[in-house]
Amino acid sequence: MGGGRKSSKTLRKSLKFYRVHFGLISPFKVVCDGTMIHHALQNQIFLKDELPKSLGSVSKIVVTHCIAAELHGLDSPITKPAARFAKRAEKVECTHESKLSAEDCILHFVQSKGAQSRGGVLVATHDEQLILQLKKLPNAAIIVLENGKLELLEPSSSARDEAERREKVKLSVSEQEQKVLKPLLEDAAAELRKQKGEEMKKRRKEMKKKAKGPNPLSVKKKVKHSEVKVDEHGIEKSSKRKRHKKKSRSSSS
């Protein structure tokens, strides 16, 4: 096997790369080819248990119909356990019409529109030739078996280049959005300032009107003063009329 293997401690770092840049999501579906199934069984590694442990999430082993057919067609005592395993495993539909080798089927699957839309694809293999081909495909996250442990290869140069390209696209889109949004935000701010100015003018007018009007509490009723009359000697005359008693006729007689 080539270099570039990740230890179990840093495996999740590479996995995060594919999750961030290629939209790989859990639960993971791991496409296992015949070589991986065969070597795992020989080394008494239970993929059903070890894959979720290594990837830190729920994981399912899947095979294509071509993978299962190829193992069954070998008809060898050595590969029979792997063939039985593949027969029981969950199947994913092949993305091609004509019959292909397991290697070509996997490569076709990784490059299919469905796989591209779903994000990255996890492929577990022990085939050196297939690994070299998968490294050319940016969205292929490759799992290998080394020293009795499942390891995830570091992202290939094609994967890193594609991730960088996608980041540049995101930045360019955000810059374009800023150009479009800037005048809109400026117009909105100007309109807000205008509304605030009009509200202030309205308040000032209302305050002026209130200031001009009399305060009802400060207005007192006018008290009418009775006119005081004085005689020629300066003596105050009473305004009240004197009532004269009428003399009785009996007294005058």
Whether 170 and 97 share a structural domain: no
Instruction: Decide if 244 is inside a domain.
Output: no
Whether 43 and 109 share a structural domain: yes
pLDDT, tens digit only, all 253 positions of the chain: 444 444 666 788 899 999 999 888 889 999 999 999 999 999 999 999 999 998 988 999 999 999 999 999 998 899 999 999 999 999 998 888 888 999 999 999 999 887 766 778 999 999 999 999 999 999 999 999 988 889 999 999 999 999 899 888 888 756 666 666 667 777 777 777 778 778 888 888 777 776 666 666 555 556 555 555 656 665 555 555 555 555 555 544 4
Where residue 36 sits, what CATH number does that domain have?
3.40.50.1010
Instruction: Decide if 229 is inside a domain.
Output: no
Whether 107 and 81 share a structural domain: yes
- Name the token pair of 188: 């909105």
Judge whether 107 and 137 are in contact, CB under 8 Å: yes
Whether 115 and 18 share a structural domain: yes
Residue type, 74: L
The SS3 of residue 238 is: coil
- Name the token pair of 41: 């069984």
* Best CA proximity match to 67, nearest among 40, 107, 14: 107
Give the domain range for residue 160.
156-210
Instruction: Decide if 113 is inside a domain.
Output: yes
Whether 139 and 62 share a structural domain: yes
Question: Model pTM?
Answer: 0.65
Instruction: Decide if 125 is inside a domain.
Output: yes
Instruction: Decide if 239 is inside a domain.
Output: no
Instruction: Decide if 252 is inside a domain.
Output: no
Whether 166 and 143 share a structural domain: no
Query: In whole angstroms, what is the distance from residue 203 CA to residue 214 CA?
Result: 19
Whether 131 and 21 share a structural domain: yes
Instruction: Decide if 174 is inside a domain.
Output: yes
- Give the number of domains in the chain: 2
Whether 115 and 131 share a structural domain: yes
Instruction: Decide if 225 is inside a domain.
Output: no
Whether 54 and 127 share a structural domain: yes
Judge whether 95 and 109 are in contact, CB under 8 Å: yes
Q: Is the backbone of residue 33 left (phi > 0), alpha (psi -120 to 50) or beta?
A: beta
Whether 33 and 64 share a structural domain: yes
φ, ψ of residue 10 to 5 degrees: the values are -105, 5
How do 59-64 and 229-230 pair as beta strands? unpaired
